[in-house]
Structure 1
């Protein structure tokens, strides 16, 4: 139906509500929405005012609560827009209240879409805007196309909107995906293809969010055809270590009986001939018989991607710090190493407080991983995290890399110039790794950026405003560099708003937990089930690790790759590293060691192991490669007394 005047539109709405005129598109859903908009919400169908739009601060607050949802949807939004942009559509993602929290729009058409109300931060609840795509999905929890004069308000009668709901693993609505166009053919059948693409994309977002929220569970990927299990699985079922089903996606509920209530995986599938946990390690595709129907489902099993931190829930807490942790910071916060946990606690308190952070620590301790966790814990978590290694970029290039350059700034420069890393981090976090390697001349320019909030591209004369949080890291002692004149004192004080020292691996009391975590991550890539030999793990825990976690990961990655058995042992490491590992002290050797020097060495080694393991005898004995009884005998012979008994 073509666009009509305000008067004609009002007459048509009232006539349909009163039953005098036919319903829009013969849809009872649309008539019901018109009736609610008119009678319950008292909206004016002749209104040509655009939708309410949140302020930047209000939008950031809403987006901050939807971090996982935004991460799961970003690529799908981009892919959908690429498919329909040629027809002049924009793509919008709303939360469960109708607020547009993300969108994709061609840059040269942004003003046109914004004038029509199709903009980030716009609010599309039925209470405020009446009948429209997002509002109807929020109300009816079903996909719909609201085409031109199907809209309740005259302001939107030139728009066409196809929208589809997105649900959490537990079935609660978490958002709506919408594709809208300002101009389109009058025939609503022209929207059929876009409508299907929106539904498919919403399903992909839903599954992506499902996998993100159930990462601490075992996941069954299933399809009726073996050939589509890897490429396009339909059924997703999450279950815990004991086999209790925690959640399932919509396709699984539609195609598999018995998933509605609390069930065990063995009640749904006949697993008498296969252990699902073993299937996960082999990455095999297995045929599972459904107990209810006898039909076969082909499946692959994925082991948990991270340790369970809290029960599976559908909604995000209103306060992102309500449980004392957020995102990747929880792995540090729950560490048994006191310094690591204290660093995480401080980081959570300062995240989003516009305070520069300086991370100090040896090479390989995980400074960038910690910096990203700090970023993910603050209000800028949905904005860019841009990392720059100041020591890896050649000195002649670091200036253009950081600050960007204007067109024709130097020979070989791009015709349009280039934005630097600082500008790319606008609104987010800039991580400067190895800041101690930055040349003095660039330190001066960086200081000005931090002081004035502006960056001037190389060869340019117009400053560009930037709003960034800054995290820096170095393995050097910055105060020594200041005293030596190789680092600006004023820049040091500008960067060290909060200084955190990341402990080296050899000093961490949770070293055994770190080893187990890294091993489990690397073992995922193996083609068969792998276990870490306890004595080998003890030898690793006693090693000094000059390369820290980076070195540990490389050692275990190599060992998992070459291991041809179920147990990863010392014989699986590279010869160079095997030569560096000191042999464990055996009981026979200890009995024959009578010299004071050897006794002192042994005492120091045992005390060091006990200290590292927080004086837990089981862990210390494992780290030393001896039995607990042997450890007790040596403690008594050497007169070692724990700190809790002095």
Structure 2
């Protein structure tokens, strides 16, 4: 039986519906029927099955959220924005990852009925698990849609009406989706149309915010059709490297150029899309001061083009900017006045431009990516691309194509033009392999061969591409232990570990006092009281510099007359310092006694106020989610999710 992917429902699928779902008095669209077909024939599910809830354990969820920390921190603003508009009307808002696992939720006040329906953090809504549903089917079909009542595969989910939109990153990789779900809505599917439009709009906002955050130090272009000037979903965003090549884009741009016009977007020069080079765009726009009206080279109607030049850089072509004028801190600044780091920086300068791979190790939040960027900026490759790949954030099934790329027609569903991998995109510049310890074993072998032979064979390619990159890797894991347990290749370790750079934890640095003043100065002129400074110096900082920076930003926001006292600091610094040495498994029955502590009572009240949304409470306190999890563990505070 052939399965069509577009157009009206063909007769063979109509027969399939009549045979398997005769009791459903609806005429579903083709994507719904195709999902039903997958649910029955591929996933072997029973529509009348119990539909057991698949929920991550607390430890699995914490690790899952840690791996998606950057995605969560940016997307949470869009989740909150959508929630303000639909939660009062009885909708639950959910954010999922690319596997259908819910990472964040906003629920109505009467949230019990929603949690009983499985609308909780940690729940898995993958189509292979629960059949046709909003999150799972939107991810499988890669399109925005509403799954209404009987369109769900499982009868137990008939009361749900879900409007969902996928979310893509700046490399056009699916990161997850945004979902607004209501229960027992009385109207037909058409009543959810405006809800779906809101969801799509906020999904695009999340994509665009992620794009701007990722390329905040790059020249970016905004391209809008004059006919769709107010349509956020159609705004195209492009990021350029110093040679005017496209290194990232939002999903609207990928749809416009790759899907509709069959143009391989990443790696293309901007003058292959618009009738102007980077220099001409800068000149005509007066350094980005005014918008331009241009026609695309594909002969479309005129479009409005706006340039954004990175802050702290002169209004000229980025490649001419002085090295010391970069938004990113340089090696000297990162080294601070800590003797251990200064020695590391001294050694780094000696190996620059000598084709020696660098391996950066250190706890989460110690600044591994900042050092990688600083190494790139200090090298002779500074005018080349800096390409980062987080080996822990990309599904194992996608890492190979992300790293090595593929040629057109190499497999079903592949882009006709193919796709360049990170290795090829980084040619002439620096490739940063973050969380290298999480790279799958079979790809470790391929990467080792590439580094040894200095050439890339993309999937489906007949000839290799020469490789000229500086490789910088980073991990928070103990690779020596992974090698001993056969989880990491020893020969790859020696290939990557040309020069090791171990970043000390913040609690181990001798220049904490100076670092506090340096980070605080980014927010203006503030004076720390002696008591507040001592709290900052004594804190163990499990989240390291990232956590300290967040804490100081929070304190600066609360300061009055430029003075930061203890009461301006997050709650965790106002009370007892963190101590996670107590037993982890404290029963919920002991919670009442534990809550005699002011800090525990304050934390529990905040969690209840935010309906156990960890991201919202972390934002309110100005701390990392990992910190909240440790404190919940300390006081035996158990999330309602863990009861399922």
Q: What TM-score does the superposition give when structure 2 sets the normalisation length? A: 0.52
For the residues of structure 2 that align with 1:382 and 1:203, how far apart are their CA atoms? 28
Match of 1:298 in 2: 304
Query: Which residue of structure 2 aligns with residue 347 of structure 1?
Result: 505
Deviation for aligned residue 1:179: 0.7
- Once residues 91 and 557 of structure 2 are traced to their aligned partners in structure 1, the CA distance between those partners, rounded to angstroms, is 41
Q: Which residue of 1 aligns with 2:162?
A: 161
Pick the aligned partner of 1:267 from 252, 266, 272.
272
TM-fit CA distance, 1:17: 4.7
Q: Any conservation in 2 of the 1:222–1:229 contact (CA below 8 Å)?
A: no
Unaligned runs of 5+ in 2: 1-13, 312-326, 329-372, 377-385, 395-432, 437-471, 477-498, 524-535, 584-594, 604-644
Gaps of 5+ in 1: 1-11, 328-340, 403-420, 433-444, 454-459, 469-646
Q: What is the match of residue 134 of structure 1? A: 135
Q: CA deviation at 1:377?
A: 6.3
Q: Give distance in 2, aligned partners of 1:146 and 1:32.
A: 13
Instruction: Give the drift of 1:178.
Output: 0.8
1:200-599 pair list within 5 angstroms? 200-225=201-226, 228=229, 234-255=235-256, 257=261, 259-261=263-265, 262-271=267-276, 275-277=280-282, 279=285, 281-293=287-299, 295-304=301-310, 306=327, 310-311=386-387, 317=393, 321-322=435-436, 345-347=503-505, 359-361=512-514, 364-366=517-519, 387-388=554-555, 401=567, 422-423=570-571, 425=572, 430=573, 446=576, 463-465=598-600
Tell me the CA shift for residue 243 of structure 1. 0.7
Question: How many Å apart are 1:68 and its aligned residue?
Answer: 2.4
Q: Structure 1 357/102 Cα, relative in aligned 2: closer, same or farther at 3 Å?
A: farther
The answer for the alignment partner of 2:105 in structure 1 is 103
- Computing the radius of gyration from Cα coordinates, the structure with the larger value is 1
Match in the other structure for 2:94: 92
CA 1:231/1:168 → structure 2, altered by over 3 Å: closer, same or farther?
A: closer
| Shift in Å, 1:311 | 0.9
Distance 1:66 1:452, change over 3 A: closer
Distance 1:22-1:117 versus aligned 2 partners, 3 A rule: closer
SS state of the match for residue 73, structure 1?
helix
The whole-number CA distance in structure 2 between the counterparts of 1:288 and 1:112 is 53
Distance of aligned partners of 1:146 and 1:72 in 2 relative to their CA distance in 1, 3 Å threshold:
same
Please give the alpha-carbon distance, in whole angstroms, between the structure 1 residues aligned to 2:163 and 2:230: 29
Count of residue correspondences: 395
1 CA distance for matches of 2:558 and 2:201?
Answer: 45
Deviations 1:304-362 (A, max 9, x none): 465566315587547964365599xxxxxxxxxxxxx99981028x7xxxx99982228
Q: Secondary structure at the match of 1:94?
A: strand
Contact 1:280–1:302 (CA under 8 A) maintained in structure 2: no
Cα distance, 1:149 vs structure 2? 1.9
Q: Which SS does the other structure have where 2:110 is aligned? A: helix
Work out whether residues 221 and 236 of structure 1, in 8 Å CA contact, stay in contact via their aligned partners in 2.
yes
Residues 134-157 of structure 1 show CA distances to partners (whole Å, capped at 9, x for unaligned) of 111121111121111221222211
What is the DSSP-based 3-state SS (H/G/I as helix, E as strand, rest coil) of the residue aligned with 1:93? strand
Does the 8 A contact of 1:101 with 1:120 survive in 2? Answer: yes
Give TM-score, length-normalised by structure 1.
0.51
2:637 corresponding residue in structure 1: none
Q: Following TM superposition, by how much is the alpha carbon of 1:238 offset from its aligned partner in structure 2, in angstroms?
A: 1.4
- Counterpart contact for 2:556–2:564, Cα < 8 Å: no
How many angstroms does 1:102 deviate by?
Answer: 1.3
Cα separation, 2, equivalents of 1:162 and 1:293: 35
Evaluate the alpha carbon distance shift between residue 342 and residue 303 of structure 1 in structure 2; reply closer, same or farther with a 3 A threshold. farther
Distance in 1, Cα, partners of 2:293 & 2:129: 51
